[in-house]
Structure 1
Amino acid sequence: MNTPSPWWAPHRHADRRPALMARNRIVAAVRAHFAAAEFVEIDAAALQISPGNEAHLSAFSTEALGSDGARQPLYLHTSPEFACKKLLAAGEPRLFSIARVYRNRERGPLHHPEFTMLEWYRAGAEYMELMQDCADLLALAADTAGIGTLRHRDREADPFATFERLTLAEAFAERAGIDLLATIDRDGSTDRDALAGAVRRADLRVAEDDTWADLFCRVLVARIEPHLGIGRPTILYEYPVSEAALARPSPHDPRVAERFELYACGVELANGFGELTDADEQRRRFTLEMAEKARVYGETYPIDEDFLEALAIMPEASGIALGLDRLVMLATDARHIEDVIWTPVAGGAR
């Protein structure tokens, strides 16, 4: 088997350079877009006490050495979210960050251990406003790249079209014949056996040790995600509260949360929230997430107590994270995320 040339080989760099230059133009256009809307750009520190407390996010750990030799465990952040929310608490009403972030156990055509996250937050805004922000950004990226269609492999989406909008309940009913909300109680607790029965009737595998969350993800990946963002971008919204650890419950149905994801060409691009500001509830959710992490991976991460203290005074807000590398991929028809990263991390088979 032939080993691919390294990214710095002149002939390979020449092939990658057009997409990389398009990346630079898109990043510059994004910065100008947010500046024109009176957002403040912030630069979040990558080293944090906690990398986040979501069960299936894996971090890179390190430690700081004091002059006396004392050791302090630290992590590279998986998102600038905690830092951004602390600045919302400090009084910044609109902010954005173009941050290098780090996630372990993630590498493939759409995943890289170090990648670029675009996050932005609006104090006092409903989370639906972020959906329009997404529409503006997809159109901006397409205009900047000089294209009329987003592409990934054999799939296309019109970045200027009105977005399709589907709730999770609608998607489960249409694509799998499953009444998702019938398996969720009013207090947000879930009925694993009810969902397992529905999943079996949908001709999908159910293992004895599958949790409700495992079954939810299996249906989402097998029956729903492949159909999202085809022809035009899709907003998938109103996630179950158990699948939205950082989002506030919906005011019209406590079984679901103010969370949405954006898809184009079958690729997940962004994850947005009406932000949870109840510090006690956030602590409870983090504790549950870390219990699940311990069960699956045998490890946990500390809770950032400063974050919870800041959350108690943070104003109502909405925020979102968008994978900037993935957006550039769709705007340049790149097949692999490393084709749009200037200096990919060594290792990993292509």
Structure 2
Amino acid sequence: MTTASPWWTPHVHADRRPRLLARNRIKAALRAWFTDRGFVEVETAALQVSPGNEAHLAAFATRAIGPDGRGMPLYLHTSPEFACKKLLAAGERRIVSLAPVYRNRERGPLHHPEFTMVEWYRAGEPYGALMGDCAALLALAAETAGTNRFRFRDREADPFAEPERLGVAEAFARFAGIDLLATVAADGATDREALHAAVTAAGLRTAPDDTWADLFSRVLVERVEPELGQGRATILCEYPVPEAALARPSPDDPRVAERFELYACGVELANGFGELTDADEQRRRFLAEMDEKERVYGERYPLDEDFLAALAQMPEASGIALGFDRLVMLATGARRIEEVIWTPVAGGSR
């Protein structure tokens, strides 16, 4: 059995190097783009008291030992979000972070345990402004890489075309024949049995212990996501409130929230929000997420009480996180995320 050469072997590095240099150029171009628009680049601590409170995100845990020998549990952040929102509460208006983040239990062609996230916030600006940002950054990455097409597997997209905007409910109806919002009440309560019946009728597998969220995710992953971002990018927007724990409800329909995701070539690139600033509601949602995490994985993460206190002072804002490595993948035609990471973490495919 032949073992693949490690990434640091000279001939392997020589093959990888053009994409890595393109990565550097794209990063420099993005930094200049944000600077030109008045964004302040911030550096947030990777070690946090809470790594985030989403049910299906797994973190790396560690322990800080003080001079007295006493320990304190800490986590590598899964996103700089909590720290960035504290900076908004402190008075910053436009900020951007380009930094490594860490997620456990994630490894594959599009996943790496350490990856680079571009996260930016606009205080006092609508979340629709982030959609314009996304369109501009897709074009900038393509131009910098010297390509006019994004490619991944058998899919292509024009990074210079205006992205399609598609509501989640419309996508469920179009690609799965499911009336999603018929299973969501005005107060955000969900009808698991109604969605289960619709998913079964659509020919998708179900399990007796599937929650409403499980069923939603299955339709999204199996029927909706593969259809997105073909020919041009797609902005999938107006997520149901139960699937938008950090977003404020839409003023047009209380069943949906100001959340969108950006897709190109079937690949999720970014996740944007009109940010929730109601600290009590945020606490309620976090606790619900941690209850679900405990049910599924047998563990829960602490709440960042300092974050919740800052949230009460945070101005209305919009924010978004973009997977930088995935953007570079599409711009350079890479097949796996390790091809665009300078020094991949050991243990993955080479």
TM range (shorter): over 0.9
The aligned amino acid for 2:51 is P
User: For residue 44 of structure 1, what is the aligned residue in structure 2?
Assistant: 44
Match of residue 278 from structure 1: 278
In structure 2, the residue matched to 1:253 is: 253
Residue identity opposite 1:256 in structure 2: V
Quote the residue 1:124 is aligned against.
124
Partners in 1 of 2:204 and 2:49 — Cα distance?
40
> Who is 1:98 aligned against?
98
* Residue 217 (1) aligns with residue 212 (2): no
Q: Which residue of 2 aligns with 1:144?
A: 144
| 1:81 correspondence with 2:75 | no
| Aligned-partner residue type, residue 208 of structure 1 | P
> Does residue 1:303 correspond to 2:303, yes or no?
yes
Count, aligned residues = 350
What's the offset of the Cα at 1:214?
A: 0.5
- Give matches, 1:1-350, under 5 Å: 1-350=1-350
| CA displacement at 1:205 relative to structure 2 | 1.1
Amino acid at match of 1:150: F
Structure 2: runs of 5+ lacking an equivalent:
none
- Rounded to whole Å, the distance in 1 between the matches of 2:135 and 2:349 is 34
Q: TM-score, normalised by structure 1?
A: 0.99
Distance 1:281 1:266 in 2: 33
How far does the alpha carbon of each residue in 1:8-37 deviate from its partner, in whole angstroms, 9 at most, with x for none? 000000000000000000000000000000
User: How far does the alpha carbon of each residue in 1:100-154 deviate from its partner, in whole angstroms, 9 at most, with x for none?
Assistant: 0000000000000000000000000111110000000000001100110111121
**CA displacement, residues 153-190 of structure 1 (integer Å, 9 cap, x when unaligned):** 21100001011111011001111111000000010010
1:194-214: CA deviation from partner (whole Å, max 9, x where unpaired): 000001110111211000000
Aligned with 1:112: secondary structure?
Answer: coil
Distance (Å, rounded) in 1 between the aligned partners of 2:221 and 2:276: 26
Task: Quote the offset at 1:348 in angstroms.
Answer: 2.1
Distance apart, 1:2 and its partner CA: 2.0
Give the TM-score taking structure 2 as reference length: 0.99
- State the shift of 1:4 in Å: 1.2
Deviation at 1:3, TM superposition (A): 1.6
SS at match of 1:115: strand
Q: How far apart in 2 are the matches of 1:345 and 1:204?
A: 35
- How far, CA to CA, are the matches of 1:252 and 1:155 in structure 2? 34
Alpha-carbon distance between aligned partners in 2 of 1:47 and 1:293, rounded to the nearest angstrom: 21
User: How far has the Cα of 1:314 moved from its partner?
Assistant: 0.2
